[in-house]
Amino acid sequence: MNVGDLIVDYLETIGVDTVFGGSGQSDSAFLFALSRTEKIKTVIPRHEQAASFMACGYAMYSDKLGVCFCTAGPGAVNLLSGMAVAYSDSLPLLSLPAYTPRAMRGKGDLGDTSGLNRTPDGQAIFSALTKKSFILEDPSKACDILEEAINLAFEGRPGPVNVHIDYSIYEEEVPNYRPLSFHVKPVLGAQEDLDKAAAALTNAINSGKKVMALVGYGTIRSHAEGDLLQMLEAFRIPFCTTMDAKGSLPETHPLCLGTFGTSGDPGVKKYFKESNLVLAIGNSFAKWNTWRFKDVLFENKELIHINIDSNEIDKVYKADYPVVSDAKPAIAALHAKMTAMGAGKLHSVMGTDQFRNVKLVQSSDKIHPAMLVREISRLSPEKSIILGDAGGHMLWLHAYLTLDKGRNYQNPGSFGPMAANVNASIGVKYANPDRPVIVACGDGDYQMAGLELMTAVQENVPVIWIIFNNSEFNIIKYFQLRSKNKEVFNHFLNPDYVKYAEACGAQGFRVTEIDQFEAAFTTALSLGKPALIDVIVDPEIYPPFAAFDE
């Protein structure tokens, strides 16, 4: 077995069935190895950056390893944005860029990233964006390096790893082959920490204090949603979710307060301010979920913080009761301990001050973005995965998207590159073929990455892209107007997206009135092919963006 076939063998062993990458001269031997397997689908996007985003999407709502590969040099550099997303959003990813052989380094080889003689230092670059970056240049070390890399991607807080492959060894035999050993252990909380957290919750509930749960994306990564909902129902603890945990628990549930953060529901903020104890599960307390890291956010209240990564504890807010643990076993342990301690039920008065209850009025001939989001909420099928991208539309989704029936939502995370989820959606669909995948994105997002519609058409990947078309960078304009009372460099031309979709072989729709959206969307869902829905939205309406004290 040669090195290229070994990589394929190890990916097959852990259940990878799709990989994303760039076709180039220095990785051609690996492409031939991929061509010899019937268990892995190889997708070649129009750009390597898209391959890295698709690999992120593949890992996002699955337990699988996202894999991207590329030719040496420029191809490797093009992967970096996706690696940064995986690093910030805890996605298990493996990148496999080809690498200049030792004898050629620093001599002017095409795509040399050895860091010698005016070449980029690829190892330093990838080390900054991954849990660890390796150089594989000896076939006898291939099993050791690949096994360590794959396990490391899943170990503790998941994340990306990189293995540079000396392109001269792809077809060399591995002299010491062994099957992959996958041996990731769960992160379990210390019993003493769990006892203290359970006692704090029990005492707060039984003494009539105001308790709430703040649910983060770590709950989804851990598959803890069902266990958490059972616990919250058992003790009648109200909950809210962060933006990227929307849909982890049903937002129509009687205990759901809404979404938390800068563009979250007013009722959540009010309840949070009055609370005495907050149970935060799988949170990193990112910027928009904390009103730009508001210093007094947890003033006069106690915080139980459950996170799989000890580095996240106390990073932003000091935890009174820290628990370093995977969310699922921690929730199960808390529930059992609280029951044994005799925890009662809260009798909280739930507020109804949520954006989904706000009456909307269209003030121009263009569609109110919140009306569009409400239609997406109403019409999206059960178990849909809805992806936002970076921009003003994301804040409308945060405020007005209401999810239940197993539907999930994700945005580009704390790193937040534009167009990340425009492309990631294709990877999401490969990992979740039985779930509808819907992208709600800005027109600026789509123009950055819309060529991957051709990839979706070529591979017959039925993703639906809904474009919030206002011909501007709306949220940047909003910030400029608020800070400088004027705005600059925010406007751009859009193509005819219907004609563009048709030119690519997809189906295109144009929506200029909100009543037209249902027919376009339901038709797109029924097609079983890629579709683009161009919705003309009002550029003079800005998303809700209230300060913590407002």
pTM score, whole prediction: 0.95
- Predicted confidence (pLDDT) per residue in 529-546, tens digit: 999 999 999 999 988 877
As a whole number, mean pLDDT of residues 506-526 equals 98
- Predicted confidence (pLDDT) per residue in 233-261, tens digit: 999 999 999 988 999 999 999 999 999 98
Strands 160-166, 41-43: parallel, antiparallel or unpaired by DSSP?
unpaired
Distance CA 210, CA 550 (A): 21
Quote the Cα angle for 181-162-73, to 5°.
145
Structure tokens given for 475: 């949220």
Q: What is the pLDDT of residue 353?
A: 64
Token pair 């999810």: residue: 403
As a whole number, mean pLDDT of residues 153-168 equals 98
- Predicted confidence (pLDDT) per residue in 47-76, tens digit: 999 999 999 999 999 999 999 999 999 999
For residue 275, give the 3-state DSSP assignment.
coil
Give the length of the chain: 550
Q: Answer yes or no: is pLDDT of 351 > 70.
A: no
Q: Answer yes or no: is pLDDT of 485 > 80.
A: yes
Q: What is the pLDDT of residue 352?
A: 58
Nearest alpha-carbon partner for 227 in 329, 338, 342: 329
User: For 491, which DSSP code?
Assistant: B
Q: What is the DSSP string of 465-478?
A: EEEEE-SB-HHHHH
User: For 104, which DSSP code?
Assistant: G
- Average pLDDT over the chain, rounded to whole? 95
Q: Please state the φ and ψ torsions of residue 488, each to the nearest 5 degrees.
A: -140, 145
User: For 212, which DSSP code?
Assistant: E
Q: What is the pLDDT of residue 448?
A: 95
Q: Please state the φ and ψ torsions of residue 519, each to the nearest 5 degrees.
A: -65, -45
Distance CA 101, CA 114 (A): 9
Q: Answer yes or no: is pLDDT of 227 > 80.
A: yes
Structure tokens given for 128: 């900054």
Residue 14: alpha-carbon gap to chain centroid: 21
Q: Answer yes or no: is pLDDT of 94 > 70.
A: yes
Distance CA 428, CA 420 (A): 12
- Predicted confidence (pLDDT) per residue in 261-307, tens digit: 888 888 888 899 999 999 999 999 988 788 888 888 899 999 999 99
Q: Please state the φ and ψ torsions of residue 108, each to the nearest 5 degrees.
A: 105, 20
For the chain, count helices (H), then strands (E).
20, 18
For residue 69, give the 3-state DSSP assignment.
strand
Domains and CATH numbers, the chain: 3-166 (3.40.50.970), 191-340 (3.40.50.1220), 358-536 (3.40.50.970)
User: For 185, which DSSP code?
Assistant: P
